[in-house]
Amino acid sequence: MEPRNKVKIGIPDEEGQLSFMFTRGGARRGAGRKGIGTTRKVSLTLSEATWSRLDAYCDDHQFTRSEVLRGMIEHYFSDQN
């Protein structure tokens, strides 16, 4: 019996690491979710109580921390107009 998913190792068009290529589908230039902006890393210091409340809110509403914090920041600046 032959394996269901044959795997090939491919060399990408751009400099970088080797990638695994399945016989069907796989990575394509321009495919996937489009970015919503520029990613910048931010370090944020909050009390444990605040982190707990943030995490509980995220769990209850099925949001990521990034989604909640982004929404708060965008809401704040939209009110500044």
Q: What is the pTM of this model?
A: 0.57
Phi, psi of 19 (to 5 degrees): -130, 155
pLDDT surpassing 70 at residue 44: yes
Distance CA 23, CA 6 (A): 6
Distance CA 69, CA 44 (A): 11
Q: Report the pLDDT value the prediction gives residue 15, as an integer from 0 to 100.
A: 62
Q: 26 lies in a domain?
A: no
Q: 2 lies in a domain?
A: no
Number of domains, the chain: 1
Q: Report the pLDDT value the prediction gives residue 34, as an integer from 0 to 100.
A: 81
Q: In one letter, which amino acid is 21?
A: M
User: Domain of 74: which CATH number?
Assistant: 1.10.1220
Q: 81 lies in a domain?
A: yes
Q: What is the mean pLDDT of residues 23-42?
A: 76
57 in the Ramachandran plot: left (φ > 0), alpha (ψ -120 to 50) or beta? Answer: alpha
